[in-house]
Amino acid sequence: MSAYPVNMSVKPEVTAFFDEDTNTISYVVKDPESNACAVVDSVMDIDYAAGRITFDHADNIIAFIKDKGLKLEWIIETHVHADHLSAAPYIQQELGGKLGIGSKITVVQDTFGKVFNEGTEFQRDGSQFDRLFEDGDTYQVGNMTCFAIYTPGHTPACMVHVMGDAAFVGDTLFMPDGGSARADFPGGDAGTLYDSIQKLLALPDDMRLFMCHDYGPNGRDIKWETTVGEEKKHNIHVGEGKTREDFIKFRTERDAELDMPRLIIPSLQVNMRAGQVPTDSSGKKMLKVPVNGL
């Protein structure tokens, strides 16, 4: 029996929103028994070269929620993303709802507060968020009891969020032919990631899994939904027969070849602040670029 309050009889309605620029998938998750919903891993648009932020992706989500007459109760971040900027505060301002992330956000804030030479005005206690989740914590979306699973390895603050028969895995796992995410960011660890994936794969085989990213390996169409059973059988990094030692060796060697994500500099500064863009001493929105600092 699972240590978590799994309820496969609850089948939320899941609507995906794909952001082509960052290969990110955001979700609106509706309680099947009410008009309550949650948003998972939203995206704020940025033209980094021009220093211009817009909200087309978030506006599509907001319009969908309004058109369907839904009530937004939670805005969930599966982790501090390094490849896209969160639109959480923009969506919250428009629709309300509580903003939640894993409690280890404080570790990320402490680490990157130093990297970006943030002053004492940058709070490193997670207070920018409304709720800091611990492993196994539950919360309600309408009548639907949801829970969080602590899944570090990609970052120290990663969590999988389970809503009925749907689990939103962040970067803990990719589609079966995509394998797994990197584990070489500060606080990441390949062995820890393997252990976290095993926690995820211990959920029921027919649990629906929703990815945060997909890159269309080998030219296939973009996909974002699979199941625990499919991952156990076919995932190219952790499927049947793949040992922890095999995974650590592969993941470590592979990560050494990867470039840093294109938007890592702005993403970390914004996302560790719950989607708020930092400001300089005059109050002007401003991003830093630490030279040789990442």
* pLDDT for res 121: 87
* pLDDT for res 240: 86
Q: How far from 243 is each of 136, 196, 247, CA to CA, in Å?
A: 26, 14, 6
Task: Quickly list DSSP for 187-244.
Answer: T--HHHHHHHHHHHHTS-TT-EEE-SB---GGGPPP--EEEHHHHHHH-TTTSTT--H
pLDDT of 39-50, one tens digit each? Answer: 999 999 999 999
* The token pair that represents 236 in the structure block: 């190219």
Angle at 93 between CA 92 and CA 96, to 5 degrees: 50
Q: Spell out where 45-158 has E strands.
A: 45-47, 52-54, 71-76, 98-102, 131-133, 138-141, 144-150
| CA 216 centroid distance within chain | 19
In which band, very low, low, confident or very high, does the pLDDT at 120 lie, cut at 50, 70 and 90? confident
Separation CA 88–CA 109 (nearest Å): 17
Separation CA 106–CA 78 (nearest Å): 14
* pLDDT for res 276: 97
Please tell us whether the domain made up of 13-271 is placed in CATH 3.30.365.10. no
pLDDT of 184-218, one tens digit each? Answer: 999 999 999 999 999 999 999 999 999 999 999 99
Q: How many residues does the chain have?
A: 294
Angle at 95 between CA 21 and CA 278, to 5 degrees: 55
Q: Which residue has the tokens 């648009």?
A: 45
Separation CA 207–CA 226 (nearest Å): 9
pLDDT of 1 strictly over 80: no
* The token pair that represents 246 in the structure block: 């095999």
The domains of the chain are located at 13-271
pLDDT of 79-96, one tens digit each? Answer: 999 999 999 999 999 999
**Quick one: average pLDDT of 221-228?**
98
pLDDT of 9-34, one tens digit each? Answer: 999 999 999 999 999 999 999 999 99
Whether 134 contacts 104, CB under 8 Å: no
Percentage of residues of the chain with pLDDT beyond 70: 99
Cβ neighbours around 277 below 10 Å, total = 16
- Provide the whole-model pTM: 0.96
Q: Is the dihedral of CA 200, 221, 185, 272 positive or negative?
A: negative
